[in-house]
Each structure stands twice: as structure tokens, then as C-alpha cells.
Structure 1
Amino acid sequence: MDTSAPVRILTVCTGNICRSPVAERLLQAGLDQAVPGGFEVASAGTRAMVGEPMQPISADIVRTFGGSPDHFAARQLTPNILRGVDLVLTMTSGHRGEVLQLDASLLKRTFTIREFARMLDVLDQRAADGVAEAGAAVVPSTADAHDGASPLAANAAYWRGLPARAAGVRHLSLPADSSENDIVDPYRRDPGVYRQMEDQLAPAIVSILRHARLNAPSAEAAAGPGS
């Protein structure tokens, strides 16, 4: 594997026209700012409306938060699309199960987007409090990249080890109700449900982007001492 290859993230919902496209485009826009060239974000649907653009209200949400809905076409989730993905973020627990039916090897790299965001919030808070994480010594932070590693390679190493670190604090991020792991499906429903979707999805995206910014590699750190 090319250690400097972009981290590949896949977002998944049902039709791939409402929820996962919003997550895809907003994550891509924010991650491009945090680590230019460091991430490739795509999406797919478990019962996709193949070839369809994202729904108009979803497109408006993307524009509102600074992303672009242009040139989007829904795709059906397949084993081939899952091959080589570093992180899968689903909109519901049910979608997570469907991903794992297609590729069980992704068990430790597949989360609902809301649960993953809560785990990153825990990691960020513990880092701010100076609490060492289990496995931190073997999962290099981007600020402590291997000597001579490029910033993109440092970023890739960090994010490819992140799912294991996140899972390690799952017990500290459990919701009061399991429904809080899911993003509501607004398809063919009134605009108020789209606002509910936005209210559930936006904080999760913000948490993921915050974590990316906090752990973004610098060229100086990645170059190592004596460079």
C-alpha cells in the first residue's frame, strides 16, 4: 500500500440521494481544508436510486455549509466499492449491518457517523486532559510522524490506526438511547424532517472535521529532526 495515498472514507445510506451525499460532500470540503490531498470521500446506497442527483433540500444543505452538490450521481453499494476503504461511516446501525454482510473484514472500520463522532469527541477531550490512550505508542500521531515521512503519509498512518483507537473509547461514548446512533431518513417527507436530518448530521461532521484539524500533520513535524 502507498503510505501517502489519500485516506479513503465511504459514507452509506439507503438511496444515496439524501443523507450520505450530504456527509460525503461536507466531509470532503472540510477535510480538504484540514489536510489538502489527504482524503478521498465517496458515498453509496444499500438500495441506491442509481444515477439520481441528490435531493434538492440535501443539495441546499450542502451549499449552506460550503460544499458543492454538483455532478453527484447515486451509486449502489457493492463489494468492489468497499474494497480498499479505510473507514466506512453509515447513517444508521442497519446500514452498518448491510455493509458487513457485503464485507465482514470491515468490522473494525465501520461505524455509524454519529457514534464515530462521539468517540472522536472523547479522544479529543482526553488528549486535552493529557490522558494517554491505549495503543497510542504504536499508532503514531501526526505530530510525531516517523523521520522523513511526508505529511500525507503521516496523516494516512494516523487515520488508518484511528478506528482502533476510537473503538477503544466506545464504552465512554455510548448514547442514552441507541436511536441516537442513527440519522433520520427524510426521503419523500416534509422539509422539517430534512431539518432534523441536518440537526443530527451537522454536529457529527463538525466533530470529525475538528479531529482532523487538531491532528493535521505539519511539514516541519513530518520532516523529522535534523532535516
Structure 2
Amino acid sequence: MPDFSILTVCSGNIIRSPLTELILRSELDRSDVFSISSAGTFAGDGDLMTPEAAEIALALGLDPSAHRARYLVEPYIESADLILALSRAHRREIVQLVPRKVNVTFTLREFARLAALISDDEVTRTIEPLSTTRERLVAIVKLVTTRRGAAGQIEIPADDDVVDPYRRGAEMYSESLSQLSPAASDSAKLLRQATKNPSIGARILH
């Protein structure tokens, strides 16, 4: 049974959230530790990724063939330890459904941005006293939450969103990926660091 569950959420669960799911699964690469899934706020259950999104996944060396869209329901939110929404609107919908999950619900770009404010030493001090991987991951998410204050504010709130390219052509798919992929990678780096043994001085963030 994996220690830590991550849920990614967009609208139709056919472009942004499944691409994020696939990238995180590839970069975290620890099925014994991480359970990673996705859902959509108005998804059609069983829908495939769009051909454009599937093509992007394949170009990244990821396999989109197993993906089937899921409509977001409360149990998916309840069971998640970290929820990464692809826009502020999705984040609001998630928190409206399950208000108690507000502290573990971020937009993907928000989580990556706040994670960048955390130093390696802070991560090490946070996880060093903790004995289990789950405890460390939960503590790291709490640490990211503390950066939501004044220091974590941005001038343009929309910069925490990933643009929706649905039916908007190749250029918009490219723009969406350029926002999504780095944020997923940066988020994965911080989460990976929490799974390392701090006593051996492992460092992931730079």
C-alpha cells in the first residue's frame, strides 16, 4: 500500500491533469511510496486523453494508453494527501466540495512556486526527526503551506493557472505544456527530497 496519495485535477481530465499525473509518476518513480491519480470537475467517465495530449505524452516518453477520465467526487478528495489543481477555479471547487482539505490543496504552479521558497536546510530540519516516509511527506506539504503568507504572494494571480488548450490548437497545447511540465518537475523534486534519508545528506533541490 503506497504511503502518500496525490490527486491532480482539471476540467475534463483529458489534457492537463492526466499529463501532470503521468509526469509526476515518471519523476517520482516510487509506486511503493506514491499513489498518483487524476480527475476532472466535469469529466466524462471513461474518456480518453485528447489526441494532442496523447501525442505530447508519447513525445515525453510517457504512455497515455491506460488513462480513462474520472468525474471528481468527494471520496477522491478525501483520500488524497496532496491535491494539485490546474487552475484557481479548480482549487476553489475542490475546497468547496471538501473544505477540510484546504491546507493540502494547491494549484500545480502555486505548489511549485511556494516550494522554491524553501531551502534545502529547511527541508532537512523538517524531515530529520521523522521516522517514516509518510510523516516526512506530510510534513513537507505543511511546510509548503506555511509559505502562503505575504512572501508567497504573486503580482498576477493568473500565473498560478495552467492554460486550458482544449480545442485551441497546437500553439496553446505548447503553451500549456510549457507551464505545466516545469511546475510538475519542480514539485516532484521537493517530494523526492522528502523520501530521502537526511542522514546521508541527499539533496534534490538546487
Q: Do these two structures clear the TM 0.5 threshold for a shared fold by scoring above it?
A: yes
Deviations 1:155-214 (A, max 9, x none): 211111222211212233322200101011111111100001001001101101221333
Secondary structure, aligned partner of 2:106: strand
Distance of 1:220 and 1:36 partners within structure 2: 23
CA distance in 2, matches of 1:43, 1:55: 15
Q: Is the 8 A contact 2:137 2:195 kept in 1?
A: no
Query: What letter is aligned with 1:161?
Result: A
The separation in 2 between residues aligned to 1:70 and 1:20, in whole angstroms, is 15
Q: Any gaps of 5 or more consecutive residues in structure 1?
A: 147-153, 222-227
Following superposition, the deviation at residue 36 of structure 1 comes to: 4.8
Contact 1:26 1:66 in 2 (8 A): no
* Structure 1 segments (4+ residues) deviating >3 Å: 218-221
1:198 corresponds to 2:177:
yes
Matched, 1:165 2:122: no
Q: Structure 1 residue 220: deviation in Å?
A: 8.0
Distance of aligned partners of 1:98 and 1:69 in 2 relative to their CA distance in 1, 3 Å threshold? same
Structure-2 separation of matches of 1:203 and 1:101: 28
How much has 1:144 moved relative to structure 2? 4.8
1:155 aligns with 2:133: yes
Q: 1:114 to 1:17 in 2, by over 3 A?
A: same
CA distance, structure 1, for counterparts of residue 114 and residue 60 of structure 2? 23
Give the % identical residues. Answer: 31
Deviation of the 1:57 alpha carbon:
1.6
Q: 2:22 and 2:112 mapped to 1: Cα distance?
A: 17
Q: 1:203 to 1:173 in 2, by over 3 A?
A: farther
Q: In the alignment, does 2:205 pair up with 1:210?
A: no
Q: CA deviation at 1:219?
A: 10
In structure 1, distance between residues paired with 2:193 and 2:112: 14
Aligned residues: 199
Separation in 2, partners of 1:91, 1:11: 7
Post-superposition offset of 1:122: 1.1
- Give the AA of the match of 2:163: V
The code of the aligned residue for 1:185 comes to D
Residue 73 of structure 2, aligned match among 59, 64, 78: 78
Q: What are the residue-to-residue correspondences of 1:57-206 with 2, within 5 Å? A: 57-123=52-118, 126-127=119-120, 130=121, 132=122, 140-141=126-127, 144-146=129-131, 154-170=132-148, 171-206=150-185
Match of 2:36 in 1: 41
Measured in 2, the distance between the counterparts of 1:219 and 1:71 equals 35
Partner in structure 1 of residue 204 of structure 2: none
The residue type equivalent to 1:169 in the other structure is R
Would you say the 8 A contact 1:17–1:49 is kept in 2? Answer: no
What are the Cα deviations for residues 75-128 of structure 1, in whole angstroms up to 9, with x where unaligned? Answer: 0000122122101100000001111111111011100000001111111xx22x
TM-score (norm 1): 0.80
**Paired residues of 1:29 and 1:66 also in contact (CA < 8 A):** no
Are the counterparts in 2 of residues 93 and 112 from structure 1 also a CA contact under 8 Å?
A: yes
Residues 140 and 191, structure 2, Cα contact 8 Å, conserved in 1: no
- What SS is found at the alignment partner of 2:192? helix
CA contact (8 A) 1:9 1:40 kept: yes
Cα RMSD between the aligned structures?
2.2
Q: Write the distance in 2 (CA, Å) between the matches of 1:29 and 1:98.
A: 27
